[in-house]
Structure formats: C-alpha cells, structure tokens
C-alpha cells in the first residue's frame, strides 16, 4: 500500500510534501541510547550472584538471623530518642535503648538505638555462631580489628569507632515483639558484655571483651526461629541497610508463598518506608535496594508490577534443615 499524505495525495520519493513532485525521505531515527555502564559495586553484586547460582552453599557459607529481625528490623538511620517501633502488618518490634557501663569510672552511660548495617551484620554473625555451635557464649575476638576480620570487613578500618558505638548500643538495647493481641518480651539479646574501651591513639587495639553471652530468652527463641541466609550475599550488601532488610525478608518470605502474592506499595511503605516522608522517594530507593538484594538472591522470583510487588513461590537462598521452618510472628500470610 502506498503511503498517503492527508492533504496532497500520494507521496513520491524526493518531493516536498504539499508541493507535488518527489517527497524527501524521512530523517533516519535517532540512534538508540547507549546502555548505562555498570558501576563497580553493581558488577561485584552480579559476580556474587553468579557464584551463588553456580555453587550450592556449603555449611560454612551459611548465616542465620532471627525470624523477627527478618520481618521488622532495626532502624536504618539514627534515631532521636530512646525507643523505636517498626511494624509489618499486625506484627511489630519495639527497640528500647539501654545503659552500659563503659568503664573508666563513668558508671552507666545511656546508649543510642542501634541502627544501620553494622548491628544487623554483627547480630547475624553472633546468631550464626550460636546456631551452628549450640552455645550462648560467642567469641568476638580481642580487638576491633579482629572482630571486623571475623565479619569479613578487615579492610574497613574507618569503621572501628562506628563498630564500638553500635556494639555498645546493641548490647544495651531491649527488644519487645507482638501482634494479634500478644506481646513477647525478648529483653536484652546480649546478657553479658564487657565494654570496649576507647583509646584514640591505638584505635585498632581497643580493648575488646573477647566473649559475649546471649540471654537465655533470646537464644531459645533464636534456636526455634533462625532463618538460613547466604553469608556471601549478606557481606555483599554491607553498604545498604535497606538492601539487607529486603534480602533477609525475602529469604524468610518467598519459600512460604504458595503460588504468588501481590503486595501493594502502601503495605511495603508501612513495613520498609518508615524513614521516608515522601512516597516517591521510598519507591525509588526501595526499587534500587531490591535490585541489589535480587542480584545476590538469584533464585528469587520477584517482579515490580503496577501498584506494587509480585512475590512468586521461590526456593530459600540456602536449603533448610530437615523439619526446620522459622516460626512466623505474623499470622497474616501477606506479610
């Protein structure tokens, strides 16, 4: 069929439209935009994901986190005040700041609420040792440098002081969880902890207690509801508390999905967006962190769709122990 101009009839090659004769050829379409080059961190995440997909994790590659903290985590940024509440549907977590004797005759010192990636990673490491060795006594090294090496962060020297601050906050805090009319006081996750004394001249050799002891209540709850994770995936996400939260949530959630489940943005914002005032900012940051989490959880079947997130039944990031299924704290199947 000949292409027809609405006003002058059939166009002929080389003519100017509207003047008869030959029409000019349409200009060539603009060249396709060059794909954005991946950043070094994005390439690193893809490499970790490829390794995870190609090599089934062995026992030494596993990590564990409490199921509660896979659904409702610590704050991701600094909190003003001494308490913090995070909700997921009808379930909730309340974190209460506590005091710690920091030594040097200072007596009890009020600690902040633990926040950011470090307390998440530290508690995962502590929980992993507790689960694998069936013990409440956790060796944590005798210096900040040693503990960071144990966490796979030996080259992160600028984090010594941050680690001290967050470990003190973690050791002093108290946890309460609830939902559907029930309240469960977990108390302090850490029962015994010797303060890490600061020495500004020798930061890498700060006095560290060597061992901490989990509370019996937290330890018993952990043994019933530990969620298996991939250690390489956790360490690949150290730069984003939100990506860590999304990864452990998916690890807890996806293998429970029967077929598929749609979560609306409002529900996701209630669970993950407490730190964001603008819904648009939350959606943008959530999708960015989701891409990071999915890069190191290649088995996950998750899609961003109109109106929210579609979760589809997926295998867990590591195989569950026979007969082991972390106990949920929410009876709502969509959380």
- Asked if residue 94 belongs to a domain, the reply is yes
Q: CB under 8 Å to 302, separation ≥6 — which residues?
A: 250, 254, 290, 294, 309, 310, 311, 312, 314
Mean pLDDT throughout 117-137?
A: 94
Query: Phi and psi (nearest 5°) for 158?
Result: -70, -5
Under 8 Å between Cβ of 192 and 212: yes
- Asked if residue 22 belongs to a domain, the reply is no
Helix axes 40-54, 279-295, angle to 10 degrees: 50
Under 8 Å between Cβ of 86 and 274: yes
DSSP H or E segment with residue 137:
strand 137-141
Q: Cα separation of 228 and 319, whole Å?
A: 8
DSSP state of 291: H
- Asked if residue 277 belongs to a domain, the reply is no
Statement: residue 329 has pLDDT above 50: no
Mean pLDDT throughout 18-45?
A: 66
Statement: residue 316 has pLDDT above 60: yes
Statement: residue 16 has pLDDT above 50: no
* Beta-carbon count within 10 A of 135 CB: 13
Statement: residue 115 has pLDDT above 60: yes
Pairing, β 137-141 against β 210-214:
antiparallel
Domain hosting residue 126, numbered range:
40-241
pLDDT band at 30 (very low <50, low <70, confident <90, very high): low
User: Looking at residue 154, what is its pLDDT?
Assistant: 63
User: Looking at residue 302, what is its pLDDT?
Assistant: 96
Beta bridge partners of 211: 139
Q: What is the pLDDT of residues 75-114, one digit of tens each?
A: 999 999 999 999 888 889 999 999 988 766 777 889 999 9
Cα distances from 131 to residues 212, 225, 302, 324, in angstroms, run 15, 10, 29, 13
- Asked if residue 310 belongs to a domain, the reply is no
- Asked if residue 140 belongs to a domain, the reply is yes
Beta bridge partners of 183: 178
- Asked if residue 308 belongs to a domain, the reply is no
Cα distances from 272 to residues 88, 228, 282, in angstroms, run 8, 21, 8
- Asked if residue 159 belongs to a domain, the reply is yes
The total of structural domains in the chain comes to 1
pLDDT band at 199 (very low <50, low <70, confident <90, very high): low
Mean pLDDT throughout 184-210?
A: 67
Q: What is the pLDDT of residues 143-182, one digit of tens each?
A: 667 787 777 776 555 677 788 889 889 999 999 998 888 8
3-state secondary structure of 163: helix
User: Looking at residue 23, what is its pLDDT?
Assistant: 45
Q: Cα separation of 316 and 290, whole Å?
A: 16
Overall pTM > 0.85: no
End-to-end CA distance of the chain: 56
- Asked if residue 250 belongs to a domain, the reply is no
User: Looking at residue 98, what is its pLDDT?
Assistant: 94
Pairing, β 22-23 against β 12-13:
parallel
């Amino acid at each position: 069929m000949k292409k027809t101009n609405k006003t002058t009839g059939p166009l002929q090659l080389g003519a100017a439209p509207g003047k008869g004769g030959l029409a000019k050829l349409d200009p060539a379409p603009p060249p396709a935009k060059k794909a954005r080059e991946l950043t070094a961190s994005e390439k690193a995440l893809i490499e970790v994901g490829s390794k995870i997909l190609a090599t089934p994790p062995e026992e030494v590659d596993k990590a564990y986190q409490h199921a509660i903290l896979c659904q409702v985590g610590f704050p991701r940024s600094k909190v003003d005040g001494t308490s913090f509440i995070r909700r997921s549907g009808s379930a909730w977590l309340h974190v209460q700041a506590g005091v710690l004797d920091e030594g040097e005759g200072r007596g009890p010192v009020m600690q902040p609420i633990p926040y950011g990636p470090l307390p998440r990673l530290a508690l995962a490491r502590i929980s992993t040792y507790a689960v694998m060795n069936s013990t409440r006594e956790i060796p944590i090294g005798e210096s900040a440098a040693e503990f960071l090496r144990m966490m796979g962060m030996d080259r992160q020297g600028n984090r010594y002081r941050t680690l001290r601050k967050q470990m003190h906050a973690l050791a002093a805090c108290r946890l309460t969880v609830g939902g559907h009319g029930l309240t469960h006081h977990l108390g302090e996750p850490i029962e015994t902890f010797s303060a890490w004394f600061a020495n500004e001249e020798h930061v890498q050799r700060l006095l560290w207690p060597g061992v901490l002891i989990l509370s019996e209540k937290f330890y018993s709850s952990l043994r019933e509801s530990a969620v298996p994770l991939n250690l390489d995936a956790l360490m690949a996400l150290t730069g984003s508390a939100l990506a860590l939260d999304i990864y452990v949530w998916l690890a807890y959630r996806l293998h429970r999905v029967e077929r598929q489940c749609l979560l609306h943005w409002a529900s996701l914002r209630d669970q993950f967006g407490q730190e964001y005032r603008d819904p648009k900012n939350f959606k943008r940051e959530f999708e960015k962190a989701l891409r990071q989490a999915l890069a190191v959880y290649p088995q996950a079947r998750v899609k961003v769709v109109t109106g929210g997130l579609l979760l589809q039944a997926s295998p867990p990031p590591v195989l569950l122990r026979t007969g082991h299924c972390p106990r949920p704290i929410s009876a709502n199947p969509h959380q």
